[in-house]
Structure 1
């Protein structure tokens, strides 16, 4: 029966992932009152299935099971079935991923399929991908469904007892607050570095074994440690090497799209050679900022080139005409993972000149057995200078010829069937990318990147900021869902970065309004730190307070850092105290596995050694040389705002930072400020 023979309630949703399932024979509901009330009324267990649009195994399970009439008949008869987009509802995903880990004693993933009791939505069984037919040591999905329904019917007392235990575990997962007499200190930074050294792959770069993820906050910690040691006249070359080697290996590997720019989600092997081919906005945001910083720190052209190509990919393929950034590109096209990206030798040879082919063959090592299902996924095997030596030609000529060949391959690839694009605009991920584009634009001297970031910020303020409250997602003209902690604090970080690229009063006011919202609606005033959901959010079985990083930085870590920065900038002690309380409350958890708490450690660095805040006042033209001096070297704990002298009525202590004769610089470290500086040479000496 054709897919369009059925239409369920998901047809009214905006999420591309939910719409992918709108014509399944499964009687899917979105998460909401209608589904939950039906489950209670009919005393039916709930099957909640969580995934996202770019997820390969989500597609596999849909095609195998959710499009199958017989499987759907069993699902509809025994359960109330709810589909959830984990990107729109990270609150639900965090809860049920945690529950899966507790119940199954192993990490979850996507698709996540959890079975809930109807009266309180407590999970009593679950798993990730289930095959339609028995294989991989797992039963057939329909057999599993019948078994779970039977357990629910016959073992209510045991399920009730398990649910009671699970509630207790949820309660114990909350950080308890500061331990008596314990104070934050630098030893946890040393512990993290030791752990990263132990996890580091000395041969291929990165941390841990396959599948290998980029771990951006870990790499940022390494760069920060090197920068700190450089100022102490004892350069930590080991920390720099871990960052530099990893970033170079990824830039040359298949995790990076060598033809079109941008990074895939992760590598299935330890060599960074074959990726899981989905491209996510959040990965590229974090890596874009990191590569720009790596270029500033090392001067290596490879890092600058990758940052620019990634930003160009974002503007070309991931920015909506209205300004917001889209969420993801699928791993699959035409039903096959990676099909859009791979090549045969004959295809490449037919597209380039013989002279270009010789260079392409050596650049990408196209000899022997292809590396991906009978075709080639391109990895750099020889650097430009090595090829120049081999062919006895200038490196600039080699680069120009390879760029010409890449342009031909790109044009040919553009004619292929493209991977699906998830065009919902998520506030949190936009915050990450706005920050990255503004930062890369400022560091790399690319004003078009800053303009791109500005357009996205304007879109967020126009479409997702309503009556002084923030919304989480937008698509097809509709903005909805209460925003989460990440949405707020990632946007504050984005606003602070945009303010450094160019001052605009509206962005400063927006950052302050967001910070006030975070304190009012998300803070745990009793123990410190911030909950993932606001105090007026839908009541769920558990209110998480995320501490460690996952694919994106911990909201608590980013909150502590940006509230500290905004507090030093404006003199608002409420922000500074909230940042301090957060770090004290979560410090004992950080000590258990320091390297898993990268975002919190980045905030801790600025708690222990307060950031340098520089406010310039004067005309924009006159301030440009002063700004240029502040950005010549890698200073990760420096915040610089160039505020036009005629900007008035500024908030907090910024009102005191007035322009005098010409340009005036106010240099503060933490809450300690030096006398205003009006001479450029004196300013440069003060920075040095």
Structure 2
């Protein structure tokens, strides 16, 4: 743990990141901190050798941190010490707070290092570790979150845990970390065997609690109706969204509602599902959760009004919202939804993209108010003072003496001299007298207020946002987590591919292909056929791995497979379909439960994971089982493999109890169930992709919202991957030597059509919803 070694490691990283401005600044800041800390007697720890941005944030703590692994486990066994496990991620606000208060504290660091084996885990690198111990914390404390703090026996069994602990006791009864550490140390010495017995009993109980129980029957239409009604009951009629603050975007729920609409578009139920979705999407886009200046969406709104967000930005949110906004445009043709889709993808392309093609994980909520500050504040990068807006936008409106751009802008985005954030929206007093931009009215209303033409008003607002963007770029940026997670990259491939289809934008398709190529090159171990969880930027902006690369988890497979299927339906290159099928076979071998069915989150090979859990809830990210159900249905139809259809049925049987009792918790699986109950619409276009006539047919397909479609483009090559699986292709020929489309359902194909008008007629002829 010598300082000079840690500095040499970080110098190498900084040199390699010089071409990536954000990462380079972060690295240089960390290096400065390490070099200037010597006077205080600080030492770097083993985390300085890691690549995770979160672990590197803790590399200079006066805590003898270990990464998760055999070295730490063996030390705990040899020295017979309990393990202190701390789990978080690099853009976690309260993780920063606990580090600043406790892990940078010399006294606490010394006590931790002498009495515990201290392990630091990035939850985004190791979701398997996080999942097991978060299950324990939630079961024993009634709440969860990050940072997560858990104490374990040397054989990794948890006996006490919680989330954030302040350094000292708080007046409302929360124990301070100092007190807790001393108490646990005393109990470990005096009641060691009892603690071990309790932890074993708790683990046994958790194993039973996390079991999905006996398999049931495949649920019917009634669970879809029940799930819909539960969602509708929580809908906020005034502001959109579901439930009360904090309000999350919940894209899986919105996606489900759009699929309810697709199956009931001519009925009141379908109209209502669409109404709730579109209203929510519009209110989110107008709200402060949407970054009007820098594009993209923040993590969630702290209030009911979509106004003051938690300012963190996550890749997986951008990915899923890009798909939902694309589909909203596909249904309505309202350009506002197209604009928001473009907005999201602009942000991701500009701020979350590695030059090699991968996508970064997140941007932090916290940043310095000005360069040179020591302390950070949440939202500092994003908020505005009224005087600042007035100064930046002092231009006079042409032909309107006495009216400035600032007045127009402030009216539209609710900017006030004393700030627009209420005290209850700012509990830590970090946003006093500041403004979070929010559109409370509309463009027409703003134009009418100043008696301006709508196009002039729009131009003023657009140019004003550009001025603010340029000014904001001068501020200290939030921390960027430049770790590239395979699962989230898979979701983002879907985002770009879907937008490329719907908006007919080849640049989006090219970006999706670039990301897929990146993952094939850097996150896929070709000789083993396995995925890796993460990639990192190394020397000369090359992509590297940690010394012992972390193999992919089930969501890495399921999310990437979905992305590859979406990519095939956007660019029609069979190599992506072929890779998706290869990965599905690997996922089945690594994660499928051969006894009960369904997919475990982690491999059986990792003996250090005490519980193998199956994801059973669609949260901020969809459940891997939910996504895999639709993947299998699509692959089975593409390749005519009955085994995969059977697996889908087994997934629904495994989750039948959850679907029956709490369907609202599984909206993505409900979407897959609708697809299962309805026969997929197989659209086969026979023709050369490069021909204009083929493209005309494909544009017609992409203009219609058909969530259960399977799109195949075949150029007549009998030796192609698809032709080797789908014998029906050899029977489908061009009509009059023109690109020809066939729409097939229930093993029956329509008469061939060669015009987009005729194809649209076929696509808009919908069968009745399943079960009705």
Q: CA deviation at 1:408?
A: 0.7
CA contact (8 A) 1:666 1:673 kept: no
Other structure's SS at 1:294 match: helix
Q: CA deviation at 1:368?
A: 5.7
Q: 1:613 to 1:151 in 2, by over 3 A?
A: farther
> In structure 2, how many angstroms separate the alpha carbons of the residues matched to 1:145 and 1:201?
44
Number of residues of Structure 1 aligned to a counterpart in Structure 2:
682
Q: 1:3 to 1:554 in 2, by over 3 A?
A: farther
Q: Which deviates further from its counterpart, 610-619 or 480-489?
A: 610-619
Other structure's SS at 1:639 match: strand
> In structure 2, how many angstroms separate the alpha carbons of the residues matched to 1:245 and 1:394?
26
Q: CA deviation at 1:215?
A: 1.0
What is aligned with 1:184? 219
Q: CA deviation at 1:51?
A: 0.3
Other structure's SS at 1:589 match: helix
> In structure 1, how many angstroms separate the alpha carbons of the residues matched to 2:608 and 2:140?
22
Write the deviation string for residues 118-163 of structure 1: whole angstroms up to 9, x where unpaired: 1x21111111110112225312211111112222222234323322
Q: CA deviation at 1:537?
A: 3.3
Structure 1 consecutive aligned stretches of length 4 or more whose deviation exceeds 4 Å: 1-4, 232-235
What is aligned with 2:354? 320
Other structure's SS at 1:340 match: coil
> In structure 2, how many angstroms separate the alpha carbons of the residues matched to 1:447 and 1:320?
20
- Aligned: 1:348 with 2:389: yes
Q: Which deviates further from its counterpart, 61-70 or 376-385?
A: 376-385
Partner of residue 654 from structure 1, selected from 726, 749, 766: 726
Q: Residues 127-526 of structure 1 correspond to what in structure 2 (within 5 A)?
A: 127-135=162-170, 136-172=172-208, 173-179=210-216, 182-230=217-265, 232-234=266-268, 236-334=270-368, 335-352=376-393, 353-355=395-397, 356-367=405-416, 369-370=418-419, 371=421, 372-466=431-525, 467=527, 468-475=529-536, 476=538, 477-479=543-545, 480-526=549-595
> In structure 2, how many angstroms separate the alpha carbons of the residues matched to 1:3 and 1:333?
21
> In structure 2, how many angstroms separate the alpha carbons of the residues matched to 1:288 and 1:679?
32
> In structure 1, how many angstroms separate the alpha carbons of the residues matched to 2:552 and 2:751?
40
Q: CA deviation at 1:234?
A: 4.5
> In structure 2, how many angstroms separate the alpha carbons of the residues matched to 1:348 and 1:368?
9
Structure 2 stretches lacking a partner, 5+ long? 1-33, 369-375, 398-404, 422-430, 765-772
What is aligned with 2:18? none
Structure 1 stretches lacking a partner, 5+ long? none
What is aligned with 1:586? 655
CA contact (8 A) 1:131 1:139 kept: yes
> In structure 1, how many angstroms separate the alpha carbons of the residues matched to 2:448 and 2:681?
45
Write the deviation string for residues 72-127 of structure 1: whole angstroms up to 9, x where unpaired: 011112110000000000001111110101111x1200000000111x21111111
After superposition, the CA RMSD in angstroms is 1.7
CA contact (8 A) 2:417 2:433 kept: no
Write the deviation string for residues 607-632 of structure 1: whole angstroms up to 9, x where unpaired: 11132121212112231111111122
> In structure 2, how many angstroms separate the alpha carbons of the residues matched to 1:66 and 1:438?
43
Q: Which deviates further from its counterpart, 611-620 or 389-398?
A: 389-398
What is aligned with 2:12? none
Q: 1:513 to 1:3 in 2, by over 3 A?
A: farther
Q: CA deviation at 1:639?
A: 2.7
Q: Which deviates further from its counterpart, 542-551 or 678-687?
A: 678-687
Write the deviation string for residues 468-518 of structure 1: whole angstroms up to 9, x where unpaired: 111110102323211011000111110111111111122111101011111
Write the deviation string for residues 553-608 of structure 1: whole angstroms up to 9, x where unpaired: 00000011111111111111121111111111111112221111122111111111
> In structure 2, how many angstroms separate the alpha carbons of the residues matched to 1:624 and 1:537?
48
Other structure's SS at 2:683 match: strand
Q: Which deviates further from its counterpart, 140-149 or 658-667?
A: 658-667
CA contact (8 A) 1:664 1:676 kept: no
TM-score normalised over the length of structure 2: 0.86
CA contact (8 A) 1:439 1:497 kept: yes
Q: CA deviation at 1:646?
A: 4.2
What is aligned with 1:617? 686
Q: 1:124 to 1:502 in 2, by over 3 A?
A: same
> In structure 1, how many angstroms separate the alpha carbons of the residues matched to 2:718 and 2:439?
50
What is aligned with 1:563? 632
CA contact (8 A) 1:528 1:585 kept: yes
Q: Residues 109-120 of structure 1 correspond to what in structure 2 (within 5 A)?
A: 109-118=145-154, 120=155
What is aligned with 1:679? 754
> In structure 2, how many angstroms separate the alpha carbons of the residues matched to 1:673 and 1:495?
27
> In structure 1, how many angstroms separate the alpha carbons of the residues matched to 2:37 and 2:343?
39
CA contact (8 A) 1:3 1:24 kept: no
- Aligned: 1:546 with 2:615: yes
TM-score normalised over the length of structure 1: 0.96
Q: Residues 618-633 of structure 1 correspond to what in structure 2 (within 5 A)?
A: 618-620=687-689, 621=691, 622-633=693-704
Write the deviation string for residues 340-361 of structure 1: whole angstroms up to 9, x where unpaired: 1111111112222233222101
Other structure's SS at 2:264 match: helix
Q: CA deviation at 1:169?
A: 2.1
Partner of residue 74 from structure 2, selected from 37, 50, 70: 37
